[in-house]
Amino acid sequence: MLYWLYHVSHINIFQYITVRSGIAFFVSFLFSLYLMPKFIKWAKSKNANQPIYSLAPQSHQSKGKTPTMGGLVIVFSALIAVLLCVNLTNSFALIGFGVIALFGLIGIKDDISKITGKDNSAGLSARAKFTLQLASALLVSYFLYTSTLLNSELYIPFYKHPVVDLSWFAVVFWALVMVSSSNSVNLTDGLDGLATVPSILSMLSLGVFVYISGHAILSGYLLLPKISGIGEVVIIAAALIGSLVGFLWYNCYPAEVFMGDSGSLSLGAFIGYMAIISKNELLLFLVGFVFVLETLSVILQVGSFKTRKKRVFLMAPIHHHFEIKGWAENKIIVRFWIMALISNIIALTALKLR
């Protein structure tokens, strides 16, 4: 709507991505802050509570009556802001919201199955969830590749030239990036606010790269790949950050509502999408360091137990390991936030150190 006003009424301020991103942030933040307590009240009346894994640390069992699916409010608040602020003819923006919608629907299905089954294992099976995620990611990646919106060159952090042209393999690679990122955020969402702040920081960092790559002058100055049209995606990121900040008001320790798969799967996939279109697929290891750490802990735990019948950690993901060791939950959360902040600051140095 605001972009339409720029064309029709010639209100020049609305042509700027930075201005519309700022408006999107505050609109989604206010909607999230307003809607979340209403959603919590409704969810409690419907017993839409988070089933707690029976083997989770004892301190988690008291959270069984905490409402879940707060991701619905996150996405809805962002959608209102996006419809108001984004250029709806921009292909990258439309695909970006398509990513959120596709993975969000998978998450909703999984959350509803868990709630109605009243068992954390009652959701979608791991195979079914992965199949749906992979199919969605392949669809998005195939469209990106065949529409020639994005070239298939691969860049590595801190180096200004592409190292290889992935050609058709880019479709598979991009799909794996989105699925991996989606599941990583989902695994991290195990403590109050633990996934929320790293998600905000990841989208902030990637938003900087996306904005610069979409800017002809800045991309040339900083030697980043120039990709026309991707700047509009920053507005979607700003809207999601705004709604996440509003969500954090109620999700911080002790949480009044959980994000659920409806939020974590879509946020993770969108973070992966931002990394793909800005040519920062490999930098995602730094940008999403906390997510990578959580995922690696699960891989190591499962791999070690299957091959050696021994566990590496007391429990995986790794935040549970520290819980069992006696760390206070809020201490684990804040320390992981600090790690996320530091890793994102290091990632941003790739803007100049190339």
Partners of 154 in beta bridges: 164
Q: At what angle do helices 169-188 and 126-146 cross, to 10 degrees?
A: 140
Question: What is the structure's pLDDT at 45?
Answer: 86
Percentage of the chain modeled with pLDDT above 90: 69
Domain extent for 97: 19-149+173-282
Asked if residues 48 and 113 have their Cβ atoms less than 8 Å apart, the reply is: no
Asked if residues 3 and 86 have their Cβ atoms less than 8 Å apart, the reply is: yes
Asked if residues 344 and 287 have their Cβ atoms less than 8 Å apart, the reply is: yes
- Is residue 82 a part of any domain in this protein? yes
- Is residue 214 a part of any domain in this protein? yes
**Number of structural domains, the chain?**
1
- Is residue 47 a part of any domain in this protein? yes
Amino acid type, 288: G
pLDDT in tens, 21-40: 999 999 999 999 999 999 99
pLDDT in tens, 254-286: 889 999 999 999 999 999 999 999 999 999 999
- Is residue 326 a part of any domain in this protein? no
Q: How many CB atoms lie within 10 A of CB 171?
A: 21
Q: In the predicted model, is pLDDT for residue 62 greater than 80?
A: no
Section 113-122 average pLDDT? 66
- Is residue 289 a part of any domain in this protein? no
- Is residue 353 a part of any domain in this protein? no
pLDDT in tens, 303-327: 998 888 888 888 889 998 999 898 9
**Burial of 312 (C-beta count, 10 Å sphere; 0-12/13-18/19+):** middle
Q: In the predicted model, is pLDDT for residue 7 greater than 90?
A: no
Question: What is the structure's pLDDT at 322?
Answer: 92
Peptide bond into 37 cis (omega under 30): no
Amino acid type, 93: A
d(CA 106, CA 266): 9
pLDDT in tens, 135-144: 999 999 999 9
Q: In the predicted model, is pLDDT for residue 252 greater than 80?
A: yes
Question: What is the structure's pLDDT at 121?
Answer: 54
- Is residue 255 a part of any domain in this protein? yes
The DSSP letter of residue 55 is: T
d(CA 81, CA 127): 34
Q: Look at 121-130, 256-265, 285-294 and tell me which has the smallest mean pLDDT.
A: 121-130
- Is residue 267 a part of any domain in this protein? yes
**Burial of 41 (C-beta count, 10 Å sphere; 0-12/13-18/19+):** exposed
Q: In the predicted model, is pLDDT for residue 71 greater than 80?
A: yes
Across the chain, mean pLDDT equals: 89
Amino acid type, 73: V
pLDDT in tens, 234-251: 999 999 999 999 999 999
Q: In the predicted model, is pLDDT for residue 11 greater than 70?
A: no
Per-residue pLDDT band for 10 (boundaries 50, 70, 90) equals: low
Question: What is the structure's pLDDT at 53?
Answer: 57
Section 188-194 average pLDDT? 90
Question: What is the structure's pLDDT at 281?
Answer: 96
